[in-house]
Structure 1
Amino acid sequence: MDPADDRSFPRALADALGRLVFPTVALLLAAGGVAHFAARPELTELLWIAGTVLALLAMLVDIAVHLRRGEFGLDLIAALAMAGALGLGEYLAGIIIAVMFTGGEALESYAQRRARRELTALLGRVPRSAARYRDGAIEEVPLEALAVGDRVLVRHGEIVPADGTVSGGGAVLDESALTGEALPVHRRDGQAVMSGSVNSGDPFDLEVSERAEQSTYAGIIRMVRAAQLAKAPMARLADRFALAFLPLTLAIAGGAWLVSGDPTRALAVLVVATPCPLILAVPVAIIAGVSRCASRGVLVKGGVALETLARVRTVMLDKTGTVTGGSARLVDLKVRDDQDPAEILRLAAALDQGSQHVVAEALVAAAHERGLALETPAETRETPGAGISGRIGARRVAVGGWDFVTADLPVSRFQDEIGSWIRKEGTVSVLVAVEGDLVGAFILADEVRPEAGTVLRQLRAAGAERIVLATGDRADIAENVGSFLGVDRVIAGMRPADKIANVEAEKRAHGPVMMVGDGVNDAPALAAADVGVAMGARGGAASSEAADVVIVLDRLDRVATAIGIARRSRSIALQSVYAGMGLSVTAMIVAAFGYLTPVEGAILQEAIDVAVILNALRALGPSVRTRFGRARMPSGELESLEEEHRELMDVLDAINAAAERARRIPGSELLLELEALETMLNERLLPHEVKDDREVYARIRRGTADADALAGMSRTHMEIHRMVRSLQTMREAIGGEPSEIERYELQRLLHGLAAITRLHFAQEEEIYRSLEAG
């Protein structure tokens, strides 16, 4: 039995009893009430005794499990009260306590089972079998059956099942889950491949070099389990209060018995001392927070995880797939002076429809975002990991890396320009040739998420004193992202064991640590952190299993959302505890002086319960300030506005292309191109900005009751309008052939317009996401 599961036989028995005890005890209380009104006192007592004994037995098993771990809490007070009630014949008081206690336990168990059930859909990508070649055929075998030297087929999209080498061809792999490198890597015949990598290209053959249990993926899973065992368990909020409340209760009860000589007074004290605000109000508030998190796409695995989430002081973020999107996106393009950027992208994307390469998928996605119609390619031939060629209509097109595209092309000035232009850190380049001529190139990169800046500000506002960027990526790329975000520390080139060591160091130096990651390589650190948060939308099964919290949407802002909900839920739970325990202590003193019988004490405790539970239920919804104090944007509207930005990407491409050609093409061609660009700007970009300012911004201002909200963004709209007007004025001022000074000023204006528009789009998306309604 795996000790990491913490499920010994007594624990399993307690769980099984716990699912049955509460409804049974509640039924026995009701049945005893019916018997009481039917004037059957002996049956009434029998039913209430049975219910109390059943709850007490389940509680004793649970106490035994906790004592084995050196823990005790509010179970002990409730057990003493029930045992005392049975001993002194106060059966109604005993079963009321039993119902209250088992009800609270049932609430917590329900929340944990629900979290585990909702998580199962995320864990389907764990490799469990492999397609092995045997006697000229392919057979599916369990991973345990693989032996060194076996040859297996790894299909597109599958996880590599064991460490090995590429056999008889090439492979394109997504190793981001293992190394943090977002862009695909190419492995040639005979090169090593790590288990846990994802085949993002064509199927390839793998010769196994390590048995599955000795491979990279299995080693990471072993580290996860070791980290889980090494992590000290966090005490529940209710148990921490019980440590102080238990001796106070025993002292008052013992004192009342000693002074009065009446054991019933001691029982009355124990009954009203039964920490119902802890038994019920804390679980209600915490589970309400867990439920609210689930409604926002965040699965929290139990109340302890939510409580810990509310106390984090250091946030450690993985880069790839967490701070960044985790996949390649088109960020820039450059085409020859006589070519149309949209047409070159259309040709490249149309041809790439025949490829399964992740970069090809990125170009196809970029073309769809710009509304380009893609023809079906013909006569395609692909060299895995290098490029693809074929026909689009009547034209012969080649798309791929530098060596693939330029191998048979004559050297040209444009080729030299492209050679210099594509040398950018942290990017991948794709070249395009049409009819044997190099016509353009694309730059793709893994971009920082649009909401990242807002999320970091929200994390600091929520109490995070330190934010660390930890990644297996190269130091230069990591430092670039870290400086952009303004984190406190950047740690690069990290292996899974290094991340564990840094998590432990941050714990010792700065308090509770939250680790956020998405890949297999993050799983050990997620398990070691005080609270691990997995970005589960990308299907990282190992990280989802190791984490305490799983973000099921591909949205980093849900991390700050979860912390906000956790802090509010904990605050409401504490309010209920302070109010309820204060009332309980007052009732204990009254009972100690003999003014409350055990049954009266149980009824009074019920009234206290109702008050604190009603307060705890506030955690199900947002705060009044959140609900009424700020503008909210429906999710559908957010998606629509972001879609509008994606559809305007071809306008930015056209501005950049005109800027590139402004210094070289003849004046007559330049004027025609500028006139066409102005038409595009006036018919598409400017109406979008007017709509944003007059409709979207106005609605946000009404929601905040601040007439100056987004004033800086409106000022940017004004600047974009001014620059478009300046472009028109500059074009009209050009006579025949523009001078060098006119060309330079024109190019400077176009580059500035493109830059300010791109930045403005990014700012709007960040603002809109921060206002998204839940």
Structure 2
Amino acid sequence: MRFQIKHEIEGRLRVHMMQNRMTFAEADTLQYYLEGLPGVAHAKVYEKTCDAVVTYTAERADIITALKQFCYDRVELPTAISGHSSREMNAEYQSRLVGQTLIHFGKKLFLPYPVRAAITAVKSVKYLYQGAHCLLQRKIEVSVLDAVAIGVSVFRGEMNTAASVMYLLGIGETLEEWTHKKSVDDLARSMSLNVSKVWLLQDGQEILVSAKEVALGDSVVVRMGNVIPFDGVIRQGEAMVNQASMTGESLPVRKEVGTYVYAGTVVEEGEIVLQVREMSGSTRFEKIVTMIEDSEKLKSTVESRAEHLADRLVPYTLLGTGLIYALTRNVTKALAVLMVDFSCALKLSMPISVLSAIREAGSYHITVKGGKYLEAVAEANTIVFDKTGTLTKAKPAVRRVYTFCDKEEDELLCLAACLEEHFPHSMAKAVVSAAAEKGLEHEETHSKVEYIVAHGIASSVEGQKVVIGSYHFVFEDEACTIDPAEQEKFDALPKEYSHLYLAIDGRLAAVICIEDPLRAEAAEVISNLRALGLKRIVMMTGDNEHTAAAIAKKVGIEEYFSEVLPEDKAEFVRKETEKGNKVIMIGDGINDSPALSAANVGIAISDGAEIAREIADITIAADDLHELVKLKRLSNLLMKRIHRNYRAIVGINAGLIAFGVAGVFMPATSALLHNISTLVISLQDMRNLLDDAE
């Protein structure tokens, strides 16, 4: 595509696309294309000017070539982006704010006072009606205070005061609505389904295909720990399905043949064959938006406290107005109290603070499912790490395969991959990747695959029982044995690796040695978390004592537990919360889901199992533990901002009331200064916390 370079410095380009106008859809497409280019750190597209800014680390020539090759028709935009972009919404609210301001000040410049007064009187009806409606419900809330303030101003003929109050209330409502809607949309979009491949059942055979190839009426196999990719009806099997991401239910629901299941829910136990009834992801998106907006879990304690406090303060404001009038018999001084209230600022600024923090977290690839989780992160004193995929890299690799039978190494690795590819765990992915790198192809010759959480996999191949998993599962649960002639070789297995044991017909066939490299940033992150207030840092892993001790020492964790089962992790977290500790649990696998649910805040690493991501309260998509430090800093700064807001609101409004009662400010001036201070605090609350801190 033709473009012109408007400005350039090293690592940054601003280009103008040679087109007369750019639609919102075209802007989204261009931004999606640019952000997907190798070496592009950041891209921003401005549809109004048809410009794009690209920050890059790649070669300049590569970026120029990519821009030349760009064509809107060749880029396929994901539904989650094309159907639910916030670009159009942002433009709409910006225009609305500009329009409100131009109309308010334009009336003062171009309309005579009688016309302005008539317009103000008509507009005041809406606020008076809302106040009266609230009173009829036997409630005295903020709408009553607004109605009284505007009504008294209109009654006294102070139309400019009434107009200013309504203008600032309107601006505040627009800003709150915009921030809330954008935050909810961003959150819902990040929670939207993104399944790339599924197991399609055709003629009794399971085939791994792209989700795009599935058509209405097709049958799809979904096993334990996997997300259900489409809406549909169960045709075979039964399962316990976790629907928390859809309905907010904390307990899994039993689903059997003939029942309907929804895309995005997760199979916790069992296995089903699903007949696809709905392909579009938009239905799930809309359901998530509705769930988030209706769910009380979105609100933090401080938000709810601010809302309740705001409404509780209204009667006292009205009482103060009456008391001042009774003492002074001065309407102007009484109005000074009425025009300045604490509730408006409290009710507006707190939700904006929390939703802005959720939005900011999203910019760091951190999905927070509710404000109360940021508050819990700030208050937490204990953090529990699962080792695999969190403190260690999310992509362990097979280093060697030791054989203990007459079969070839590649044959055994191929068999292991054939079983492991059905289950989403980092160790399983390592085996599948190792087989793929060697070009080992396999046929689905095994029977039904059974997955035992945190232990291993059992199946049958050509009439022989095959198991693969941990030492405990293979040798203790399944009572498999080792050929005596191979015992010495078995004892000499390198201890620096994690071991995956494969047995056929009760005899050990192979040991797959898997290296799970420690994240380079892990030790630094642990140190930073301690500095940010987390007093107790614990590591829990299913690995043996030797491996666990080595990892804990390297990252600087003093308290660790080895060879633990999922129920052990969950029980530890439950006991700590019962003691009054605020606990953060971090994991990425199926076996972490019980502990994630039990913690005050469950954080999932998004490359892990779908069930962990769905159950978790916060998901970190970036492959860097430094994002965890950012999350903790962001949460701490949010609480500081909220407490600072409380002090500012009380101080400013108390001062305005005092000056008004003393006669220093007229009611109109007090109202204007009150609303301006509320607006300034709200605008400050929309600023990025981490940017301000830096």
Q: 1:465 to 1:604 in 2, by over 3 A?
A: same
Q: 1:587 to 1:137 in 2, by over 3 A?
A: closer
Compute the RMSD of aligned alpha carbons.
Answer: 6.2
Of 585, 597, 614, which aligns to 2:666? 597
CA distance in 1, matches of 2:440, 2:538: 46
Which residue does the alignment assign to 2:532? 462
Shift of 1:499: 3.4
Which residue does the alignment assign to 2:579? 509
Of 231, 244, 255, which aligns to 2:323? 255
Of 368, 371, 378, which aligns to 1:300? 368
The correspondence of residues 132-147 of structure 1 with structure 2, limited to 5 A, is none
CA distance in 2, matches of 1:39, 1:233: 45
1:464-514 per-position Cα deviation (integer Å, ceiling 9, x unaligned): 23345567x589699759965334888943449x938944x5345335443
Which residue does the alignment assign to 1:234? 301
Q: 1:46 to 1:459 in 2, by over 3 A?
A: farther
Of 366, 374, 381, which aligns to 1:313? 381
Which residue does the alignment assign to 2:621? 552
Counterpart code for 1:456: I
Q: 1:353 to 1:493 in 2, by over 3 A?
A: closer
Contact 1:73–1:239 at 8 Å: present in 2 too?
A: no
CA distance in 2, matches of 1:206, 1:525: 28
Which residue does the alignment assign to 1:175? none
1:747-770 per-position Cα deviation (integer Å, ceiling 9, x unaligned): xxxxxxxxxxxxxxxxxxxxxxxx
Counterpart code for 2:674: Q
Counterpart code for 1:329: A
The correspondence of residues 108-507 of structure 1 with structure 2, limited to 5 A, is 108-122=179-193, 154=221, 159=226, 196=267, 234-236=301-303, 238-239=306-307, 242=310, 249-250=317-318, 252-275=320-343, 277-279=345-347, 281-318=349-386, 321-323=389-391, 328-330=396-398, 356=421, 362=430, 365=433, 374=438, 416-418=488-490, 420-421=492-493, 427-429=499-501, 442-444=512-514, 449-468=519-538, 484=553, 485-487=557-559, 492-495=564-567, 499=570, 502-503=573-574, 505-507=575-577
Shift of 1:564: 0.7
The correspondence of residues 600-679 of structure 1 with structure 2, limited to 5 A, is 600-609=669-678, 612=681, 615-616=684-685, 618-623=687-692, 626=694
Shift of 1:44: 2.7
Q: 1:229 to 1:364 in 2, by over 3 A?
A: closer
Contact 1:74–1:238 at 8 Å: present in 2 too?
A: no
The range that moved more, 87-96 or 563-572, is 87-96
**Structure 2 runs not aligned, ≥5 long:** 1-91, 208-218, 239-265, 275-290, 450-456, 462-467, 475-481
CA distance in 1, matches of 2:624, 2:366: 10
Contact 1:309–1:566 at 8 Å: present in 2 too?
A: yes
Q: 1:387 to 1:132 in 2, by over 3 A?
A: closer
Q: 1:243 to 1:514 in 2, by over 3 A?
A: farther
CA distance in 1, matches of 2:155, 2:93: 21
Q: 1:534 to 1:234 in 2, by over 3 A?
A: farther
Of 628, 647, 655, which aligns to 1:586? 655
Shift of 1:590: 0.8
Contact 2:392–2:516 at 8 Å: present in 1 too?
A: yes
CA distance in 1, matches of 2:493, 2:97: 75
CA distance in 1, matches of 2:370, 2:135: 20
- SS for the counterpart of 2:500 is strand
Which residue does the alignment assign to 1:574? 643
Which residue does the alignment assign to 1:11? none
Going by fraction, where is strand more abundant, 1 or 2?
Answer: 2
CA distance in 2, matches of 1:539, 1:43: 64
CA distance in 1, matches of 2:595, 2:296: 13
Contact 2:386–2:539 at 8 Å: present in 1 too?
A: yes
Of 606, 620, 623, which aligns to 1:536? 606
CA distance in 1, matches of 2:206, 2:492: 49
Q: 1:27 to 1:506 in 2, by over 3 A?
A: farther
Q: 1:454 to 1:374 in 2, by over 3 A?
A: same
- SS for the counterpart of 2:192 is helix
Contact 1:329–1:445 at 8 Å: present in 2 too?
A: yes
Shift of 1:593: 2.4
Contact 1:130–1:153 at 8 Å: present in 2 too?
A: yes
Counterpart code for 1:417: K
Contact 1:104–1:279 at 8 Å: present in 2 too?
A: no
Q: 1:316 to 1:230 in 2, by over 3 A?
A: farther
- SS for the counterpart of 2:576 is helix
1:358-404 per-position Cα deviation (integer Å, ceiling 9, x unaligned): 76852574699xxxx85677999989879999xxxxxxxxxx9999x
Paired positions, count:
506
Of 80, 103, 109, which aligns to 1:37? 109
Shift of 1:293: 1.3
Q: 1:375 to 1:230 in 2, by over 3 A?
A: closer
Of 70, 77, 94, which aligns to 2:165? 94
Going by fraction, where is helix more abundant, 1 or 2?
Answer: 1
Contact 2:538–2:560 at 8 Å: present in 1 too?
A: yes
- SS for the counterpart of 2:325 is helix
Counterpart code for 2:346: L
The range that moved more, 113-122 or 320-329, is 320-329
Shift of 1:300: 2.3
**Structure 1 runs not aligned, ≥5 long:** 1-19, 139-151, 168-194, 208-223, 337-343, 390-399, 404-409, 432-437, 627-774
Counterpart code for 1:37: L
Contact 1:85–1:93 at 8 Å: present in 2 too?
A: no
CA distance in 2, matches of 1:56, 1:523: 51
The correspondence of residues 74-93 of structure 1 with structure 2, limited to 5 A, is 78=146, 81-82=149-150, 84-85=152-153, 90=158, 91-93=162-164
Q: 1:379 to 1:312 in 2, by over 3 A?
A: closer
The share of aligned pairs that are identical, in percent, is 20
